[in-house]
Amino acid sequence: MEWEIVIGIETHVQLSTESKIFSGASTDFGAMPNAHACEVDLALPGVLPVLNKDAVEKAIRFGVATQATINQRSIFARKNYFYPDLPKGYQISQMEIPVVEGGTIKFHVAESEKTVNLTRAHLEEDAGKSLHEDFIDMSGIDLNRAGTPLLEIVSEPEMRSSDEAVEYAKTLHSLVRWIGICDGNMQEGNFRCDANVSVRRKGDKTLGTRREIKNLNSFKFLQQAIEYEARWQIEQIEDGLAIVQATVLFDPDSGETRLMRTKEDAHDYRYFPDPDLLPLVIDDDWLKTTRASLPELPKSKARRYQDDLELSGPDVASLVSSLEAATYFEATLNHFDVSGIKPAAKSIANWMNGELTASLNRSQKDFSQCPIAPETLSVLIKRVLDNTLSTKLARLVFEELWSGDSTVDDIILKKGFKQMSDSGEIESFVSQVIEQHPQQVADFKAGKEKALNSLVGQVMKLTKGKANPTQVNEILKSKLS
């Protein structure tokens, strides 16, 4: 506990454009190696880069969404280094003046809100990929990914635990999908994190020497890598050894980090302005149009759900965790009259955060792929609110809806699920239960309130879950008073 972890994260977000950032080649994933590599990507003599306007548009959207400064004049630079999957011998990126500066990401860890400041977000091109598995004593190069547009988002080193780092990454992942700039597919490498980790003794204000863990493409690996790296650094220092700035890789099989190379600093890359690209100029009209095109952001939506619909914080956090969830919630809510909107909102939230989310997770789907349409869920909830169905019976109807294509009312009719609401009919079942369970009756009359729950359960069992639980409670109390 005498040590403090210091974490900053660099996130490479692949922008969802149809073509690459400086060429017209396709960004489609999964093609044969080098099928989507054109003359610009191959760095053939005489070719020139042309900036993709859509990539810039998406960078602006991110800057606006995070309340950052949009530099209306920014420049591209050449970042020089040699690697086999970088044909030019340099990467086109931004150094001195990025398109986005500053901004914040806010998220919750346990019950506390945390704000992490962003240093910058800059545009750059991705490199290709080295292939080792299919070759003996050599490697292949696939340049399909070379030139794919990236927005590199750099945070300040303000996170102090792996939990904070994971929640930051999840919030950022949700945001870039929400505003439509990235599909967030981590398996395909479209959202990957580099974690800069250092340690220092509690109370020390000087930053320790950091090591950068590269290319973490899952939240689980991000957490495991940070925790291992922090423990390793602490052990090194306690053994009297110095930490050397380095780039490391995380091995998910061993759960350990391993040295990749000693870390370069900016001067090692010999940055200079790219002479083939003019400065990027974003005029006021472009900025204004982009700002107006953004959807309502999660924070604003969450505040509206709490203020207007009186939903709780945990309910709201789940509903705005993704644009798909929020869209599904609002589409379902639109099928209710304004007069009953608040109880309907609470019921929708309960179903979405309960049965629906569990079923979607088991099926590895999100709300945009939900087999139960918003209109269908609204009918199911209405049947509970109008006492046609008990909550227990509604769950059975839900299971039928998930596995078939029937309507709510057809299932109720076919399965005989309609809730029993006739007082006389319920009273006859209550009388049977009272007669058959004298001990629970005696316990209730002796002041044991839990005995009533047992009697209610017996009535529900006898009626196969069809009796209205509220009426059962009322009739039982009346008969036993």
Q: In angstroms, how far is the first alpha carbon of the chain from the final one?
A: 59
CATH 1.10.10.410 domain span(s) along the chain: 423-480
Q: Which of 263, 238, 243, 255 is nearest to 6 (CA)?
A: 243
pLDDT higher than 70, residue 60: yes
**For the structural domain made of 423-480, what CATH number should be given?**
1.10.10.410
Amino acid identity of residue 261, one-letter, is R
Rg, the chain, Cα only: 29
CA–CA separation, 462 vs 398, rounded Å? Answer: 22
CB 100 within 8 A of CB 121: yes
Q: What percent of the chain has pLDDT over 90?
A: 72
> What span, in angstroms and rounded, lies between the C-alpha atoms of 100 and 120?
6
Question: For 99-128, what is each residue's pLDDT tens digit?
Answer: 999 999 999 898 788 999 999 999 999 999
Looking at residue 311, its pLDDT comes to 95
Are 145 and 27 contacting, i.e. CB atoms less than 8 angstroms apart?
Answer: no
Contact 319, 352 (CB under 8 A): yes
Given this model, what pLDDT does residue 450 score?
82
pLDDT given at position 196 = 97
Confidence (pLDDT) at 135: 83
Q: Is the pLDDT of residue 341 over 80?
A: yes
Helix (H), strand (E), coil (C) string for the chain? CCEEEEEEEEEEEECCCCECCCCCCECCCCCCCCCCCCCCCCCCCCCCCCCCHHHHHHHHHHHHHCCCEECCEECCEEEECCCCCCCCCEEEECCCCCCEECCEEEEEECCEEEEEEEEEEEEEECCCEEECCCCCCCCEEECCCCCCEEEEEEECCCECCHHHHHHHHHHHHHHHHHCCCCCCCCCCCCEEEEEEEEEEECCCCCCCCCEEEEEECCHHHHHHHHHHHHHHHHHHHHCCCCCCCEEEEEECCCCEEEEEEECCCHHHHCCEECCCCCCEECCHHHHHHHHHHCCCCHHHHHHHHHHHHCCCHHHHHHHCCCHHHHHHHHHHHCCCCHHHHHHHHHHHHHHHHHHHHHHHHHHCCCHHHCCCCHHHHHHHHHHHHCCCCCHHHHHHHHHHHHHCCCCHHHHHHHHCCCCECCHHHHHHHHHHHHHHCHHHHHHHHCCCCHHHHHHHHHHHHHCCCCECHHHHHHHHHHHHC
pLDDT digits (tens, 9 = 90+) for 11-43: 999 999 999 999 999 999 999 999 999 999 999
For the stretch 420-469, pLDDT in tens is 666 777 788 888 888 888 888 888 888 788 888 888 888 878 877 777 77
What pLDDT is stored for residue 269 in this prediction?
87
Of 389 and 351, the one with more pLDDT: 351
Average pLDDT, whole number, for the chain? Answer: 92
Query: What does the pLDDT read at residue 264?
Result: 67
Question: Residue by residue, what is the 3-state secondary structure of 173-213?
Answer: HHHHHHCCCCCCCCCCCCEEEEEEEEEEECCCCCCCCCEEE
Q: Is the pLDDT of residue 228 over 90?
A: yes
Tens digit of pLDDT for each residue in 370-381?
A: 999 999 999 999
Residue 416 has pLDDT above 90, yes or no: no
- Residue 279's pLDDT band (boundaries 50, 70, 90)? very high
Percent pLDDT > 70 in the chain is: 98
